[in-house]
Each structure stands twice: as C-alpha cells, then as structure tokens.
C-alpha cells in the first residue's frame, strides 16, 4: 500500500515539474518571413505630427538567401521602399512621388554581411511566464543591460511566432517604456524572388539611380535582434 502511495506522490511531483518547466528562449529568430511591423516611440505623444511617433511597414525578410525588402507605409520615411541585396552587394531606396517631391531612386554599394537574426549570446534572459500580448497567448522573456536598459521579448506559445519587443529604461525605482516593435500578419517561408527585383525603369540601378557612397542606416525592425 505504501509503495502505491509513494509512486502516486512521485508521479504527481513529476507532472508538476513538467507543467512548470520554463521554456528556453530560441537561439535564432525566424530567418524567412513576411510581416507587417509597427515601430512605436513612447517618448512622443501619440498626436505628435513631426517627428511621427509611429512607423508602419511591410517587410519581406530572407536571411537564408541574404536579401530583404521593406515597404514603408506610414511614418517618417513613408512611401519609400528599401531593397537590400546582400547577395549581390548593393541596395536601392525608391521613393514615390509626393507633393513637391519627385519620384526617384538611390543606389549604393552594400559591402557588409547581413546581420544574423539572433539574441546576444552573452546576455541573460529571465522567463516572465505566459502573458496575453496583442490578444495572443505568449511566452515572454526579459533581458537586462546593466540594470538600466530593459528589453522584453514575446512570442506565441504555440508556434513561436514573434509578436512584440518592448524597450524600457529604469531610473532608480521608475521604469519608463520607450519603444515597441509589434509584428502582425506574420507568414513563415521564403518570400518570392520577384519581390526583390528592381523595376525596369530603374534597372540597372547603378546607372539609372542616383549614387550614394555612404549607404543607408540599418533598419531595426525588432529592437537590435533583427536589423538589416
């Protein structure tokens, strides 16, 4: 009888430990996807007109083949499209025509490697448990930098799809939210190669676009974890 009771206790403890297991943060973020991304600055009032506190874009991301495209829908760089061909060592920025702004494109050589979509190997993440984020059940982790900068990453509990990253600053006992990166309409898989083609009116871009020797700044679409 006592053996049966002991076995019951051991099984109960094992089940409890399994249910409370803390999932590990993924070593590598998705390497091929298409998603709509909102980047929101919380340092500016939402009604601010300039600089706009929010940028919306559609990103076609293909780290495996070293190419990426970002169509800026709203925000400071609205109506611009960035195509970065790390595989062919060039990048192009194309801007649609607007009030008093002509349509044009800019070409630049792209010599560096495409950054990896990953978490810093030398930083510790603390598991925050399951939370509802953007209406979805998510697992969340927090990364702390020298007790001041705080980054929280959340992904869906089923499927591990990135949902949101928030950046905060801690000053004494006060913590202030500074920025959010929110993913939606996420689709895994290799984007079509045609998405990275340069329109015929700008092809070849080296001769038909303006030249810029300094290149363009990185676009950070998921804090510093995913940039290009």
pLDDT tens, 159-197?
999 999 999 998 878 889 999 999 999 999 999 999 999
Q: Please give the DSSP secondary-structure letter assigned to residue 194.
A: G
* Rounded Cα distance, 140 and 131, in Å: 7
152 and 140 in contact (C-beta within 8 Å)? yes
Instruction: Give the least confident one: 14-28, 89-103, 121-135.
Output: 14-28
Quote the pTM value. 0.84
The pLDDT confidence band at residue 50, using thresholds 50, 70 and 90, is: confident
Q: For 199-227, write each residue's pLDDT tens digit.
A: 999 999 888 999 998 889 999 999 888 99
Percent of the chain with pLDDT over 90: 62
CA distances from 151 to 106, 147, 206, 208 (A): 34, 11, 39, 42
β-strand 104-109 against 210-211: which pairing, if any?
A: parallel
Cα 60 to Cα 1: distance, rounded to the nearest angstrom: 63
Residue 9: Cβ-neighbour burial (10 angstroms; 0-12, 13-18, 19+): exposed
């Amino acid at each position: 009888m006592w053996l049966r009771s002991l076995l019951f206790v051991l099984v109960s403890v094992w089940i409890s430990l399994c249910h409370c297991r803390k999932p590990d943060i993924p070593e590598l973020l998705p390497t091929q996807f298409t998603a709509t991304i909102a980047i929101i600055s919380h340092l500016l009032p939402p009604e601010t007109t300039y600089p706009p506190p929010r940028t919306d874009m559609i990103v076609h991301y293909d780290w495996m083949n070293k190419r990426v495209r970002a169509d800026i829908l709203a925000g400071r760089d609205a109506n611009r499209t960035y195509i970065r061909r790390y595989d062919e060592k060039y990048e192009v920025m194309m801007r649609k025509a607007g009030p008093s702004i002509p349509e044009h494109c800019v070409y630049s050589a792209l010599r560096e490697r495409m950054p990896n979509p990953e978490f810093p190997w030398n930083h510790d993440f603390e598991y925050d448990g399951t939370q509802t984020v953007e209406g979805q059940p998510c697992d969340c982790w927090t990364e702390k930098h020298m007790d001041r900068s705080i980054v929280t990453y959340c992904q869906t509990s089923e499927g591990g799809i990135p949902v949101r990253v928030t950046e905060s600053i801690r000053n004494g006992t006060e913590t202030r939210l500074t920025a959010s990166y929110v993913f939606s309409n996420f689709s895994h898989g290799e984007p079509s190669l045609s998405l990275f083609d340069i329109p015929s009116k700008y092809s070849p871009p080296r001769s038909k676009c303006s030249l810029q020797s300094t290149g363009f700044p990185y676009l950070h679409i998921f804090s510093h974890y995913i940039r290009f």
